[in-house]
Structure 1
Amino acid sequence: MLNGFPPIEDQEAKILVLGTGPSVRSLQKQQYYGHERNAFWPIMDQFFGTKSETYEQKWYLLQGHGIALWDVLSSFDRKGSLDSAYSIVVPNDLKAFLQEHGKIQKVLFNGKQSEAFYKKYVAFYPEGITFVTLPSTSPAYTLSFSEKARIWSEQLR
């Protein structure tokens, strides 16, 4: 079994971004969205007008703008990095997370598989929180960067 990362969180967070589980490259680097071609961090930098060079800067960028980041899965078996390759999954306790972070108003799923795992294994939809599925920032999802950035930016506003 592979293990995911702890959340990037802040009690003031208003948005929670949920991925599925770390890719092979992210696990190697021990960083969320560690693959060099993943669009997540470039989208964040473009939206906030920043240039985050270190992982620590990326972490603080999210915290400083009211964004929490976690994955639906706590641990899993998967061959490679594709979302279609999961075999055994254990979800994070997202119900408790949302209850403990009462200012969250929006959950953004980074791709359809994240939303599907949430629906299947968590299925907690409290009043006052909007749930939105966005295009995956993975390089395997072939939508152009500019289109991904445009759609993500609409939901980050």
Structure 2
Amino acid sequence: MLKGFAPIHTANSSVLILGTGPSVVSSLKQQYYGHERNAFWPIMASILAGPIENYEQKWDLLLANDIALWDVLAQFERKGSADSAYTEVIANDLRQFIDEHTQLRIILFNGKKAADLYRRLIGYYPVTVQFETLPSTSPAYTLDIGQKLKLWREAIIHPIQSLQKES
């Protein structure tokens, strides 16, 4: 079985972004959203106003904004990179992750498949956490980049500003 990556997070993470599992290119690079046409990192750079020239900067950008990144799947069988091609799946222990991250207030799903897998395999929806499904940043999901950016910006900026006011 193929294996996912460890989470990017701190104890203070207030937002968790969940994908499904690494693509073939991401697995080869050992980087979240490693495919050059995936819009995830350009969207984060635009929203969070930070550099993403290397993988360390990408991590730093998320962590500086209390954003955690992980996938629903810990292990999986899949032919190619399509979310529709999963044949076997084993979930990460997201219930434990959520319970241990007491600052967590928002979980954003990077695409419908991530939300569906979470619902089916985890099904844990604490009342203190808001859940939202966003358009996939994958190049296979053909929504215009401007529309993806707008929806992702609304989902990240307004809640982060609200959380900062609470602090």
Per the normalisation by structure 2, the TM-score is: 0.93
Q: What does 1:1-157 correspond to in 2, within 5 Å?
A: 1-157=1-157
Amino acid at match of 2:128: G
Deviation string, structure 1 residues 92-151 (Cα, Å, up to 9, x no partner): 000000000010100000000000000000000011100000000000000011100000
Give 1:50 shift: 1.9
CA–CA distance in 2 between the matches of 1:113 and 1:154?
21
Paired residue secondary structure (1:62):
helix
SS in 2 for 1:109: strand
Deviation at 1:48, TM superposition (A): 1.4
Structure 2 residue runs without a partner (length 5+): 158-167
Q: Supply the distance in 2 between the matched residues of 1:45 and 1:22 (Cα, whole angstroms).
A: 20
> What SS does structure 2 have at the residue aligned with 1:77?
strand
Q: What letter corresponds to residue 101 of structure 1 in structure 2?
A: H
State the alpha-carbon separation in 2 of the partners of residues 104 and 152 from structure 1: 18
- Matched-pair contact (CA < 8 Å) for 2:51–2:61: no
Structure 1 spans left out of the alignment, 5+ residues: none
Identity of aligned residues (%): 54
Following TM superposition, where does structure 1 have runs of at least 4 consecutive aligned residues deviating by more than 2 angstroms? none
